[in-house]
Amino acid sequence: MQAIFQNFGIYVHVPFCAKSCGYCRFYKRAPAAGDMDAYALAVENELELLRRENGGNVPRPDTMFWGGGTPSSLSERHIERLAKILEPVLPKKEWTVEVSPTGLSAAKLSLLNDVGVTRISMGVQSFSEKTLNTLGRAHSLKATMDAIEKIDAAAFENFSIDLIFGSPGQTMDEWEFDIKKAASMPVNHISAYCLEFESGTSCCAGRAAESEYAKREREGDFLETAMELLPSLGFKQYEISNYSKPGGECLHNLSTWNMAEWIGLGPSAASQWRGLRRRSAPSFEEWQKGVLNGSPAYEDIVELDDEEMFSSALIFGLRMNAGVDMAEISARFPKADAAKYADTLEFLRTQGLLEFRGNIVRLTKEGRLVADSVAVELL
């Protein structure tokens, strides 16, 4: 049996973006005057509340992740303030900060380096101006290239970039160009996400006529291209959407797919800790009011029993190329009825979507192309 996966993480949601991208579903807003001070104060209160809720102690995490929103939209003063607030809980192993190509100065990167950040993750999305325009991104290709140069010069331990495929009008040649260009950058990690079209968002005009089947087929072709091309360029797939050079895997995200524990700070941030999964209100005002009044506004509260955790560990774990060790998750969640999945797993194996190796069950290449449908079968 492989070792039991253990990781405690802290996720910090920084809810500010100068401009909203057409496809985005994350909680964010354009920062108004005073918002960043108010945000830092509320995070300080939220951390204190969590401490009190847990007998005066929030342990030092293994990993920390500042996501958003756009954490790099914080001023240098606010980055320093937030890092100071979080000083007692700075991570032991990995600290990721998401950045946007716009407004990323060498001084800001140097500050992030000085406070201990180990991984920069930048939303590049595409190396084509045409695709960036379709997506409604605020940055230009020139801003991307300038930012990559500055991040490279700052020499963080890990540098990750995100790409998006499947935007309206994007051709396979354009997608292959994006992949090759990304792999030629000084990065050790690439994420490749599928754009999910949502009617009504500004980047989706004209897509409504495409049938669900045609859309899925096109997205599958793009995913398959990434799965074939990126490994040939030195980036091994370790999760449906994530590829890295050796040692470049994102530990914080691995802990999510492994159903480890984490706490979230900031509006809309989710936590999974000490038997509870819950999410803060996706509203700056509601979140702020709650933490300042000592009664945080949580939603989607789920009490986690072995059954729920086993199911999540199986479904999310299958996203990873390493697959799931059934003996390991049975040992972690002993009260779960593991046997009830046997027939479905066997059916998926006969369909060529899963393979078994000893205790390990994992998706085949065909299975990875339809991972969401496999997850639905297991629900």
Is residue 86 within 8 Å of 54, Cβ to Cβ? no
Query: Between residues 61 and 69, which has the closer beta carbon with respect to ligand SF4?
Result: 69
Q: How far is the CB of 118 from ligand SF4 (least distance, A)?
A: 21
Query: Between residues 22 and 220, which has the closer beta carbon with respect to ligand SF4?
Result: 22
Q: What is the DSSP letter of 354?
A: E
Q: Rounded to an integer, what distance in angstroms lies between the CA atom of residue 167 and that of residue 131?
A: 7
Query: Between residues 68 and 267, which has the closer beta carbon with respect to ligand SF4?
Result: 68
Q: How far is the CB of 376 from ligand SF4 (least distance, A)?
A: 26
Residue number of the CB atom closest to ligand SF4: 24
Q: Decide: is 123 part of the binding site for ligand SF4 (CB under 6 A).
A: yes
Query: Between residues 26 and 197, which has the closer beta carbon with respect to ligand SF4?
Result: 26
Q: Decide: is 24 part of the binding site for ligand SF4 (CB under 6 A).
A: yes
Integer CA distances (angstroms), 249 to 40, 92, 263, in order: 29, 16, 21
Handedness of CA 214, 220, 224, 226 (dihedral sign): positive
Q: How far is the CB of 207 from ligand SF4 (least distance, A)?
A: 18
Q: Please state whether 220 falls in left (phi above 0), alpha (psi between -120 and 50) or beta.
A: alpha
Query: Between residues 7 and 73, which has the closer beta carbon with respect to ligand SF4?
Result: 73
Site for ligand SF4 in 149-178 (CB under 6 A): none
Q: Decide: is 20 part of the binding site for ligand SF4 (CB under 6 A).
A: yes
Which of these segments, 19-27, 148-156, 167-175, 330-338, binds ligand SF4 (CB under 6 A)?
Answer: 19-27
Q: How far is the CB of 69 from ligand SF4 (least distance, A)?
A: 5
Size of the site for ligand SF4 (CB under 6 A): 11
Handedness of CA 28, 7, 162, 213 (dihedral sign): negative
Q: Decide: is 28 part of the binding site for ligand SF4 (CB under 6 A).
A: yes
- Length of the chain, please? 379
Query: Between residues 100 and 253, which has the closer beta carbon with respect to ligand SF4?
Result: 100
Q: How far is the CB of 241 from ligand SF4 (least distance, A)?
A: 15
DSSP 264-332: EESTT-EEEETTEEEEE-S-HHHHHHHHHHT---EEEEEE--HHHHHHHHHHHHTTBTT-EEHHHHHHH
Q: Decide: is 100 part of the binding site for ligand SF4 (CB under 6 A).
A: yes
Which of these segments, 62-70, 241-249, 333-341, 353-361, binds ligand SF4 (CB under 6 A)?
Answer: 62-70
Q: How far is the CB of 189 from ligand SF4 (least distance, A)?
A: 17
Q: Decide: is 21 part of the binding site for ligand SF4 (CB under 6 A).
A: yes
Query: Identity (one letter) of the amino acid at 377?
Result: E
The residue from 17, 203, 240, 250 that contacts ligand SF4 (CB under 6 A) is 17
The alpha helices in 184-233, defined as continuous H runs, are: 212-232
Query: Between residues 100 and 311, which has the closer beta carbon with respect to ligand SF4?
Result: 100
User: Can you read off the two tokens belonging to residue 199?
Assistant: 């009617």
Cα–Cα nearest to 144, from 210, 333, 131: 131
The residue from 9, 31, 61, 69 that contacts ligand SF4 (CB under 6 A) is 69
Q: Decide: is 70 part of the binding site for ligand SF4 (CB under 6 A).
A: yes
Which of these segments, 65-73, 168-176, 220-228, 294-302, binds ligand SF4 (CB under 6 A)?
Answer: 65-73
User: Can you read off the two tokens belonging to residue 77?
Assistant: 């003063």
Which residues are CB-contacts of 139 (< 8 A; sequence separation ≥ 6)?
100, 101, 102, 132, 147
Which of these segments, 15-23, 54-62, 210-218, 277-285, binds ligand SF4 (CB under 6 A)?
Answer: 15-23
Query: Identity (one letter) of the amino acid at 183?
Result: A
In which element (H, E) is residue 189 found? strand 189-194
Q: Rounded to an integer, what distance in angstroms lies between the CA atom of residue 336 and that of residue 329?
A: 9
Question: Could you give the strand order of the β-sheet that contains 63-68, starting from the edge strand earlier in sequence?
Answer: 236-239, 242-244, 189-194, 158-165, 119-125, 94-99, 63-68, 8-14, 261-265, 270-273, 276-280, 298-303
Q: Decide: is 266 part of the binding site for ligand SF4 (CB under 6 A).
A: no
Query: Could you list the residues that contact ligand SF4 (CB under 6 A)?
Result: 17, 20-21, 24, 26, 28, 68-70, 100, 123
